[in-house]
Structure 1
Amino acid sequence: MEHNIIAPATSVRLLQLYQKIRRHSEEICKPLETEDYVVQPVADVSPPKWHLGHTTWFFETFILLPHFKGYKEFNPQYNFVFNSYYESVGARVVRTDRGNLSRPSVADIYRYRAYVDKEMEAYLQNTALDDGLAALLELGLNHEQQHQELLYSDIKYILGHNPLFPAYSHHTIFEASSKESSHYISIEAGVYEIGYQGDGFCFDNELGRHKVYLDTFKIAQALVSNAEYLGFIEEGGYTDFRHWHSEGWDWVQQTGAKAPLYWHQIDGKWMHYTFNGLQEIDPLQPLCHISFYEAAAFAAWKGMRLPTEAEWEVACGLFDWGQRWEWTNSAYLPYPGFKKETGAIGEYNGKFMVNQMVLRGASVATPQGHSRTTYRNFFHPCHQWQFTGIRLVKL
């Protein structure tokens, strides 16, 4: 396959973008104490220092080692430590053991980042990139932005499960508010197209623009609020199996779930952990940190349903989105014509297209410039630790 050499202005833009995104990852971690970098309370949460190392490993492994002549690996053992799930790149530390790595130290990882950044800057300043390498670099940058959102989610889980409920920051961040709304937007039946179209960056799972038929539906203009969800809790939503999928009801029984993640009833008041510490719940804020199971059960309790991802994409231009990742009623499956790339990069999305549900939109933790109407996020239906919420469709 032939690749064209990209314009120098594009190389400069990519270098500047590289520097900006790499700085932002470290800025996210500035409020942390050294001890916070190492904690892994559950398998799905990675220690912050692992995120910093893994995103660095990506650039070293996929760009510098194969393409920068004379590059000397920072530490050959880091491939084993910071490989996440790339089978074709070799053995790795299993995910559940990431919190057992007292070494490399936090200081070592920052030295690793500085070393790779210096080498990447030298490479980008002195290399005429072809379009294939430019695309790989953009994938690496978007990969780091995904980990920036995961950093926020994982840091919140680490601090929110500390019995002291320490604040991540005393500055107001990630505030979101909405008014309860009973307004629904009508979408007429018809054939629509969904999927990415354009010349900018997208992930491979967004490609394969295709037609879908949608029947007439009405979708909520606003996200479900804390107050609305409190009604579900107070009317025994977590104790009535009729609202739940069978697997969801099993999840309730096994976990003892009684409320969204971070919610605590203290002295008769509903409180929740925020990045500012433990606070009383704002009833007008959009609901956050709920699983697909909870979202589907709430929708059933309301006599409604969740939108499909096609319905969401067709309607999203008519409502505000971006405060919460919104659960859809769509399984994460390939679009027509989807093909995995060869090699390790082909492991990025396709291998996860089973037993997961699609979320659409973005959240308050999503980095600026990292959201699109065609973005297909995906998680297992039990997951709560992302910034997830609910938008309803009338039956």
Structure 2
Amino acid sequence: MSPPGSTAEYDEEALKELIAGELGAARNRSFGLTTDALADADLTAQVSPLMSPFVWDLAHIGNYEELWLLRGAAGIEPMRPEIDGLYDAFEHPRAERPSLPLLPPDEARSYIATVRAKVLDSLSSVRFDPGNPLTSGGFVYGMVVQHEHMHDETMLATHQLRKGAPALLDPPPEPVASRPSGADEVLIEAGPFQMGTSDDPWAYDNERPVHLVDVPAYYIDVEPVTNAAYTAFIEAGGYDEPRWWTPAGWEWRNSSGKRAPAFWTREDGRWLRRRFGRTEPVPPGEAVQHVCWYEADAYARWAGKRLPTEAEWEKAARWDPAVQHSRRYPWGEVYEEGRANLGQRSLRPSEAGDYASGASAYGVRRLIGDVWEWTSSDFHGYPGFRSFPYKEYSEVFFGPEYKVLRGGSWATHPLAVRGSFRNWDYPIRRQIFSGFRCARSAGEAA
């Protein structure tokens, strides 16, 4: 089923059927990344201090579900209150989690299965009260489903960091009938547009409320930057020229020793990459991924451009100038399979020109899916922002320390991304499935 566009699309029973199905689909995906793919010893190991052991993510998913759907929506007494602190993401940094008395794999599986059974049993008696923002439109259930898919993407990043033999099947890239050609960038006219949302029932607090933003005219790339284009930056000495880097970026470059995207190596005159335990030549046409904000910003400067602001990205993705309205997705209001590389259809970004049917009203392609796209903007709340249902989802991260990413990646589930969805991370992060596209102000030479 596709995500609900508005509560009016479903009566209460149909919405409950949707929720039960999506809860099941998310759990199947979680098991496919953990217990179906790895031995218990691999579930309890920590592959990097940047990431949790898989078994922590698995039990955390169940604990979050218990907190919000059993104790919260259904009013059921706590099952395991003594483990709440172990699985509180703010109480223990990822690097410390292996030293905690975590539930072993069998106990974690049993716990999350019991939680899920009780959630499904209680769903029939829960009322989606329009006057209660937590349950209206099934919001809290949508929040839990999206949370699980977000952790599935996090676990995919952990899989990418794993050493050793591949643990995941690698579907071949989907065949593409034709790849459209045309201009490399498009002009987005000056003027206001509707940014954010106020009526999407499963949108997060940081996507709200809808508000007008007046944006000067600018050009934006039709496609994300490819591996071939980024290779040209490397081979032109882009990592060795301070003028392309911000002071903080140059400090990161010097202290990190990085001279290429994460997981790339140079052998016998060609670039190779490690992808989920497989070593292969870097595909030139794919969107570059595993680059941090500093690298994206340096490339844009080298190319005579810049990173788009968050507002520029969203206008290019959502605004339909013909009807003066922001779409939910670049192509329209309803999610349609085959218009974006989402949901782990393959374990890689697609090639330039793919998914042309997912283009926005301006003809900008692959804005949803493939790679999270860095923007130049710091993460902050919109005018009129109200924290809901807890400050730790968004508000505690507001500030210049975090940069905004938009659009989702190939690893993002369709339920967990839409044109208004906002992600954020430190500018040094590279283990995430992040890439970028460039922009420039109208009147500036390319």
Superposition TM-score, scaled by structure 1 size: 0.88
Offset, 1:56: 0.7
Match of 1:328 among 367, 375, 381: 375
1:315-360 CA distances to partner (integer Å, 9 max, x unpaired)?
1223222211111111111100001136xx2321111112101111
- Other-structure match for 1:379: 425
- Other-structure match for 1:352: 397
Task: Note the residue ranges of structure 1 that are not aligned, 5 or more in a row.
Answer: 1-5, 86-91
Give the conservation status (yes or no) of the 8 Å contact 1:207–1:335.
yes
Give the conservation status (yes or no) of the 8 Å contact 2:316–2:364.
yes
| C-alpha spacing 1:68/1:341, structure 2 compared with 1 (3 Å) | closer
- Other-structure match for 2:299: 298
Match of 2:153 among 142, 149, 152: 149
| C-alpha spacing 1:103/1:46, structure 2 compared with 1 (3 Å) | closer
Match of 1:361 among 376, 396, 407: 407
Give the conservation status (yes or no) of the 8 Å contact 1:308–1:329.
yes
Give the conservation status (yes or no) of the 8 Å contact 1:174–1:364.
no
Q: Report the Cα distance in structure 2 between the residues aligned to 1:170 and 1:334, rounded to whole angstroms.
A: 39
Q: Report the Cα distance in structure 2 between the residues aligned to 1:176 and 1:307, rounded to whole angstroms.
A: 30
| C-alpha spacing 1:102/1:267, structure 2 compared with 1 (3 Å) | farther
- Other-structure match for 2:41: 35
Offset, 1:119: 1.2
Task: Note the residue ranges of structure 2 that are not aligned, 5 or more in a row.
Answer: 1-10, 318-359
Q: Report the Cα distance in structure 2 between the residues aligned to 1:11 and 1:56, rounded to whole angstroms.
A: 19
- Other-structure match for 1:195: 196
- Other-structure match for 1:319: 364
| One-letter identity of the residue aligned with 2:287 | P
- Other-structure match for 2:83: 78
- Other-structure match for 1:234: 235
Aligned-residue CA RMSD in angstroms? 2.3
Q: Report the Cα distance in structure 1 between the residues aligned to 2:25 and 2:141, rounded to whole angstroms.
A: 14
| C-alpha spacing 1:127/1:375, structure 2 compared with 1 (3 Å) | closer
Offset, 1:182: 5.4
Percent identity reads: 29
| Aligned residue runs from structure 1 range 191-270, under 5 A | 191-270=192-271
- Other-structure match for 1:44: 50
Report how many aligned residue pairs link the two structures.
Answer: 376
Q: Report the Cα distance in structure 2 between the residues aligned to 1:307 and 1:212, rounded to whole angstroms.
A: 15
| One-letter identity of the residue aligned with 1:196 | T
| One-letter identity of the residue aligned with 1:362 | G
Give the conservation status (yes or no) of the 8 Å contact 1:204–1:349.
yes
Q: Report the Cα distance in structure 2 between the residues aligned to 1:327 and 1:283, rounded to whole angstroms.
A: 20
Stretch moving more, 243-252 or 6-15:
6-15
Give the conservation status (yes or no) of the 8 Å contact 1:181–1:222.
no
Give the conservation status (yes or no) of the 8 Å contact 2:146–2:415.
no
Give the conservation status (yes or no) of the 8 Å contact 1:21–1:141.
yes
Give the conservation status (yes or no) of the 8 Å contact 1:173–1:275.
no
Give the conservation status (yes or no) of the 8 Å contact 1:180–1:284.
no
Stretch moving more, 313-322 or 29-38:
29-38
Give the conservation status (yes or no) of the 8 Å contact 2:65–2:144.
yes
Superposition TM-score, scaled by structure 2 size: 0.79
| One-letter identity of the residue aligned with 1:292 | W
Stretch moving more, 18-27 or 52-61:
18-27
| One-letter identity of the residue aligned with 1:143 | H
Offset, 1:170: 4.2
Give the conservation status (yes or no) of the 8 Å contact 2:273–2:281.
yes
Give the conservation status (yes or no) of the 8 Å contact 1:38–1:101.
no
- Other-structure match for 2:66: 60
1:96-134 CA distances to partner (integer Å, 9 max, x unpaired)?
211234742111111111111111111113433435333
Offset, 1:8: 3.0
SS in 2 for 1:58: helix
- Other-structure match for 1:282: 283
Q: Report the Cα distance in structure 2 between the residues aligned to 1:102 and 1:61, rounded to whole angstroms.
A: 20
SS in 2 for 1:356: strand
